[in-house]
Structure 1
Amino acid sequence: MTSQSHYPTYDVMREKEHWDKHTRAIVEDRLDPEPEYRYLSLPEAETLRAVCSILAGDYRNEPIRFVLSHIDRHLHSNIGEGQRKQGVPPVRILIKQAIQAFDFMAMSRWQTPFHQLKEDQQRQIMIELSENRADPPYVWTGLPQTEVFNKLLTLTVEAYYSHPLIWSEIGYGGPAYPRGYIRTAIGQLDPWEAEKER
């Protein structure tokens, strides 16, 4: 993704001294997520790594490692869900069973675990899942395919776009508190904000 960035030399972490201590600690923790998983097993995490990489379109270790850590913490905390459709299992069960289904599909088609498939094979399964036509259908009994896809996509995107490396690449200046914005007219940038380089 770096090669596509309009801000190739921008680094949001150069602004960290302008953030309050609590915010700075939260953002810095995203650069060095916990190495151990609390809810996922290592094989489950490897399958999920492949899924999240496909969904984010990014195979770099740094942001995807944080995505996995974020999802693992979310599942481990077992906090309530804002809403869930009737018949859809709780997210902890949904993700665990979906990971098993990915591996079962991969093994039944190519005799290979999902995380070891070629990228185009992984993508094929994800597209089928998003279109509610993943085979064999009995693997997904009790797991609504589009709900699985949407939940995985939501968890991936919310973590991926909260990583400082990605902030830098999209030109996001990070938390504005307590400094705030001064130049607020359309097209104006504060001195600390990213400017397009190309």
Structure 2
Amino acid sequence: MSRKSQYPSFNVMNEKDEWDGHTQLIVSSRLESSVKFQFLTEHEVEMLRSICSLLVDDALPDALEYVISHIDRTLYSSPGEGQRKVGVPAAPEYIRQGLAAFDRSSQLKYSATFAKLSATEQKQLIQDISVGRDHPAEVWNGIPQKDLFNKLMQLTVESYCSYPRVWSDIGYAGPAYPRGYVRTQLGQLDPWEAKAEHEA
């Protein structure tokens, strides 16, 4: 997040002793550094670092590493997809083809790979792809641009929003089980929930 958190001194991991053991293991594992990618190439990782950073407006390395590691694990293990449009390839093939198309388009427009573009140029290209209007069409070789953007957005947001540092930034105190919420009326907070320290 590019703007300041309203909860600068809050750390969700201070609440971990209130979670059951299984939850502690899952959430704590998200903070473990892992730089070994099994599906993505080094070049694809570099591209995704730029794309994901722009999608969530956050350039902090720890969050981006977690997001990209999640994408890599998802594509490597290929657990299947609940929904996929007819004619759209499976996610591993789709993302790889899409990232290559990102680069082809970037080279044609700016004579540089996507990762080397300015943030303004990257944003414009992502914006064009998000509405299916990046040209020339042959660069995309039948890859539906909007569907690619939506898939990248889904993979990015689902991992970013499960990262503990992001929870701290937005004041989310983590899983309530088994402790549970008591004060449930509008404007009420349980003692263990984050309190805003200044206006956003």
TM class, shorter-length? over 0.9
Matched, 1:6 2:9: no
Q: Is the 8 A contact 1:49 1:68 kept in 2?
A: yes
1:41-69: CA deviations, max 9, x gaps?
11111111111111111111011110000
Q: TM-score, normalised by structure 1?
A: 0.96
1:107 aligns with 2:107: yes
Instruction: Structure 2: give runs of 5+ residues left out of the alignment.
Output: none
Q: What residue in structure 2 maps to residue 76 of structure 1?
A: 76
Tell me by how many angstroms 1:186 deviates.
Answer: 2.1
Partner of 1:54: 54
**What pairs up with 1:18-167 in 2 under 5 angstroms?**
18-167=18-167
Task: Judge conservation of contact 1:107–1:113 (CA < 8 Å) in 2.
Answer: yes
Partner residue in 2 for 1:191: 191
| Identity of matched residues, % | 47
Q: Which moved more, 1:181-190 or 1:59-68?
A: 181-190
Output the CA distance in 2 between the equivalents of 1:98 and 1:3. 30
Cα gap change, 1:81 to 1:36, in 2 (>3 Å): same
Any conservation in 2 of the 1:33–1:69 contact (CA below 8 Å)? no
In 2 relative to 1, CA 178–2 (structure 1 residues): closer, same or farther, beyond 3 Å? Answer: farther
Aligned residues between the structures:
198
Give the alignment's Cα RMSD to 1 decimal.
1.2
Flag as ranges the 4+ runs of structure 1 deviating above 6 A: none
Residue 143 of structure 2 aligns to a residue in which SS? coil
- Which whole-Å CA distance do the structure 2 matches of 1:117 and 1:2 have between them? 20
Note the C-alpha offset of 1:22: 1.4
Contact 1:54 1:123 (C-alpha < 8 Å) held by counterparts = yes
In the superposition, the TM-score normalised over structure 2's length comes to: 0.95
Give yes or no for contact 2:2–2:57 (8 Å, CA) kept in 1: no
| Cα contact 1:44–1:99 (8 A) shared by 2 | yes
| TM-superposition CA deviations, 1:100-122 (whole Å, max 9, x none) | 01111112222211111110011
Report the 3-state secondary structure (helix = DSSP H, G, I; strand = E; otherwise coil) of the residue aligned with 2:30: helix
User: Structure 2: how far apart are the matches of 1:10 and 1:189?
Assistant: 14
Change (3 A) 1:43 1:2: closer
8 A contact 1:88–1:142 mirrored in 2: no
2: distance between equivalents of 1:134 and 1:187? Answer: 45
SS of the residue corresponding to residue 27 of structure 2 reads: helix
Residue range with higher mean Cα deviation, 150-159 or 25-34: 25-34
Which of 41-50 and 103-112 deviates more?
A: 103-112
Structure 1 unmatched ranges of 5 or more: none
Q: How far apart are residue 177 of structure 1 and its match?
A: 1.2
